Amino acid sequence: MNNVIEVSHLTKSYRHTIKAVDDLSFDVHEGEILGLLGPNGSGKSTTINCILSLLSYEGGEIKIFHETMRPDSYDLKAKIGVVFQDVAVFEELTVQENINYFCGLYVNDRTLRRQYVEEAIQFAELENYRKFYPKQLSGGLLRRLNIACGIAHKPKLLFADEATASVDPQSRSQILNSIDQLRKQGTTVIYTTHYMEEVEQICDRVLIIDKGKKLAAGTIDELKEHSGIHEKISIELRENDERHVEELRQLPDVLEIRRSGAALILSFQEGSNHLADLMDYLQSNHLHYDKIYSERPTLNDVFLELTGKELRD
């Protein structure tokens, strides 16, 4: 397996006190979308900025395409695209001129550049907005312009940091499809988001960090497999009595019980007959319910278990 990024023992502190990244090691494989996940303040942006050599760091080593990345590694930077949450385009340039400007930072040949700019416009579905200025675009279209500017030079490696934050559903779906399409064309992507459903939709592997440390890495199935939660049963009881919650906690293999709206959610560790045990308890205590169903843990459950926090707070 070819590694496009190799991060070894990365350590970065701010003002010698706040350890934002703490001995973090991970690889990014060629052609994958790696979801970099962590609660707010866990060190995602700092990690990305260190990889891009936008920040200095006191410990560790970072290699991109097997070369050590330095602030003046211009040949390496030409192979990288960046799409940050904050839109960075020029107000005085049109859509087409903006894309041409950013593409021109890496592509000198004018004929080739014209072709790349046109392809980026089509890729981001901005054909009807070529002559628009950024302030004439909706938030979603602006994000799409931001992406077009980040990918027009056809980078082999793309950093997409919360590329879909607060956009309309149509643009969100366009952005996710376009990132998926880039992956199909061979681009490697590091993707950060606060939307777990996006991770389930497009990421091949996930790296979960908190307090600058790696908590877990693997495919979504691997993370679910290694999680302590084996089964989740949701139940909507008609009687809302805390006494039952305490008794349900005593059933075999119960790890945790929490409320979500009208439902009680019971998490079980590995074992058998959880649903049958629960039904027996309900029947013998004459408890009535509206809904009951069993499911495998979601990535969100794994994240909650590892970090104790929601991805979106």
- The contact set with ligand ATP (CB under 6 A) reads 14, 18, 20, 38, 40-46
CB nearer ligand ATP, residue 39 or residue 134: 39
| Residue 278 CA neighbour count, 13 Å, CB half | 28
Q: Helices 95-104 and 139-151 meet at what angle, rounded to 10?
A: 30
CB nearer ligand ATP, residue 207 or residue 229: 207
The Cα–Cα gap between 313 and 307 comes to 12
CB nearer ligand ATP, residue 43 or residue 140: 43
Q: Are 64 and 76 in contact (CB under 8 A)?
A: yes
CB nearer ligand ATP, residue 35 or residue 43: 43
CB nearer ligand ATP, residue 20 or residue 148: 20
In angstroms, give the least distance from the CB of 255 to ligand ATP: 27
In angstroms, give the least distance from the CB of 41 to ligand ATP: 4
CB nearer ligand ATP, residue 92 or residue 310: 310
Q: Which residues contact 85 (CB under 8 A, 6 or more apart)?
A: 161, 162, 163, 165
The Cα–Cα gap between 97 and 130 comes to 8
In angstroms, give the least distance from the CB of 188 to ligand ATP: 20
Q: Which residues contact 21 (CB under 8 A, 6 or more apart)?
A: 10, 11, 12, 43, 46, 47, 50, 57, 212
In angstroms, give the least distance from the CB of 42 to ligand ATP: 4
In angstroms, give the least distance from the CB of 212 to ligand ATP: 7
The Cα–Cα gap between 304 and 213 comes to 16
Q: Check the CA dihedral 119-125-130-134 and report its sign.
A: negative
Q: Are 183 and 155 in contact (CB under 8 A)?
A: no
In angstroms, give the least distance from the CB of 38 to ligand ATP: 5
